[in-house]
């Protein structure tokens, strides 16, 4: 920190003492958090940026702020969790994240589990929201614990860890499979081998998506009626075509494997046709998971085991903000530290105590 500061009249004043300087206003805290968790700017780089403009904020101070903010926001995240799991339909996915393995000089792979409540495509006015949960591995016990209080339909990929949820009648969770995953398998085959079977499968799936594009935003009853009239015959025809095609193939072929993926989960693939509140795919979760997937360069933003839950906590809030078409960085600049709006300088820092981080809240 500069030894002297200048007020607007040009008079020299003493800088705030060290203890007071460690108390940041909500605008500065929001800026640090958004930079780290939305823009993936490591704390050591943030410290260097602040130093260039005359702010002595070392990485340990920033880390203390992140940890304190995480604890402060815990009640908000818990309210978000309860809200998301109260939905009758959820989208679920998981994202790998590199986690430091102390003493090895290497990393291992942790997981950020994504749970999305978003019924806007079915004309629902309930606020969309995203809840993330961190786990050190991908074992099925984690989503089973996360969803122990959920009742309804889970839209997800074919991850085996979800099977225990579907198979337990007391859990009350039905599976709705993702047509985007099925289409991707066929697309990869068509690109790699120019498979005519895969090309036809893509065309058939495309016809289903064309119907969905027409009914997006309509009420569930109307969506269901149109699907029953137009999509159901296409699904029945595709089922018979897949079965007859598989019978002509070697079961060891890649195309047969892709067909088996679809036929083996057929009731889950067609469930959306009987419920207008469901979607044809799980793209809502795939898109939300990207907030934990984006990294600037390998190795810059790895976290440790203690940092994983903190990362998950802020990812939940930022992902929910994005679903409300909010820009976290713009909210941060409304406080005291907008790079462009107020200019970042020692005089631009608000040395007030952080009583809240309402500027990070996605709940209105």
State the average pLDDT over residues 65-82: 87
The per-residue pLDDT for range 166-178, each reduced to its tens digit, is 999 889 999 999 9
Position 190 pLDDT exceeds 50: yes
Question: How far apart are alpha carbons 27 and 5 in whole angstroms?
Answer: 21
The per-residue pLDDT for range 282-292, each reduced to its tens digit, is 999 987 655 44
Say which range, 45-49, 217-221, 329-333, has the weakest mean pLDDT: 329-333
For residue 222, the cross-strand partners are none
pTM, rounded to two decimals: 0.75
Q: What are phi and psi of 285, to 5 degrees?
A: -75, -35
Cβ(292)–Cβ(40) below 8 Å:
no
Q: What is the mean pLDDT of the chain?
A: 79
Question: How far apart are alpha carbons 44 and 47 in whole angstroms?
Answer: 5
Percent of the chain with pLDDT over 70: 73
Question: What local confidence, expressed as pLDDT, does residue 124 receive?
Answer: 95
Q: Residue 78: count other Cβ atoms within 10 Å of its Cβ.
A: 12
Contacts 24+ apart (CB under 8 A), 199-204: 200/241, 201/238, 201/242, 201/258, 204/234, 204/237, 204/238, 204/241
Sheet-wide strand order for 173-176: 129-135, 106-117, 89-101, 152-155, 173-176
Position 108 pLDDT exceeds 70: yes
The per-residue pLDDT for range 238-251, each reduced to its tens digit, is 999 999 999 999 99
State the average pLDDT over residues 147-174: 94
């Amino acid at each position: 920190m500069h030894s002297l500061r200048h007020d607007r009249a040009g008079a020299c004043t003493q800088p705030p003492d060290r203890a007071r300087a460690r108390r940041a206003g909500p605008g500065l805290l929001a800026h640090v958090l958004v930079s780290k968790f939305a823009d993936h700017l490591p704390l050591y780089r943030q410290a260097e940026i602040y130093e260039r403009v005359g702010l002595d904020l070392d990485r340990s101070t920033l880390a203390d702020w992140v940890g304190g903010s995480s604890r402060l926001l815990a009640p908000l995240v818990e309210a978000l969790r309860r809200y998301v799991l109260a939905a009758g339909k959820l989208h679920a996915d998981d994202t790998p994240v590199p986690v430091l393995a102390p003493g090895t000089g290497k990393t291992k792979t942790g997981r950020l589990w994504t749970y999305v409540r978003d019924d806007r495509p079915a004309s629902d006015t309930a606020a969309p929201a995203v809840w993330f949960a961190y786990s050190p591995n991908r074992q099925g016990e984690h989503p089973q614990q996360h969803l122990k209080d959920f009742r309804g339909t889970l839209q997800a990929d074919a991850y085996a860890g979800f099977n225990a949820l579907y198979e337990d009648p007391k859990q009350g969770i039905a599976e709705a499979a993702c047509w985007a995953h099925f289409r991707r398998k066929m697309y990869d085959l068509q690109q790699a081998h120019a498979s005519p079977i895969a090309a036809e499968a893509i065309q058939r799936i495309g016809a289903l998506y064309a119907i969905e594009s027409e009914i997006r935003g309509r009420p569930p009853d109307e969506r269901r009626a149109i699907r029953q009239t137009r999509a159901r015959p296409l699904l029945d025809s595709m089922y018979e075509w897949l079965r007859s095609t598989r019978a002509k193939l070697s079961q060891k072929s890649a195309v047969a494997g892709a067909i088996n993926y679809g036929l083996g989960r057929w009731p889950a693939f067609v469930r959306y046709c009987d419920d207008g509140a469901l979607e044809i795919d799980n793209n809502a979760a795939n898109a939300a998971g990207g907030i934990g997937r984006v990294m600037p360069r390998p190795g810059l933003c790895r976290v440790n085991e203690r940092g994983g839950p903190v990362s998950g906590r802020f990812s939940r809030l930022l992902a929910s903000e994005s679903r409300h078409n909010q820009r976290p960085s713009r909210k941060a600049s409304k406080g005291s530290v907008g790079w462009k709006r107020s200019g970042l300088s020692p005089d631009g820092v608000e040395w007030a105590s952080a009583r809240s981080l309402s500027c990070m809240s996605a709940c209105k």
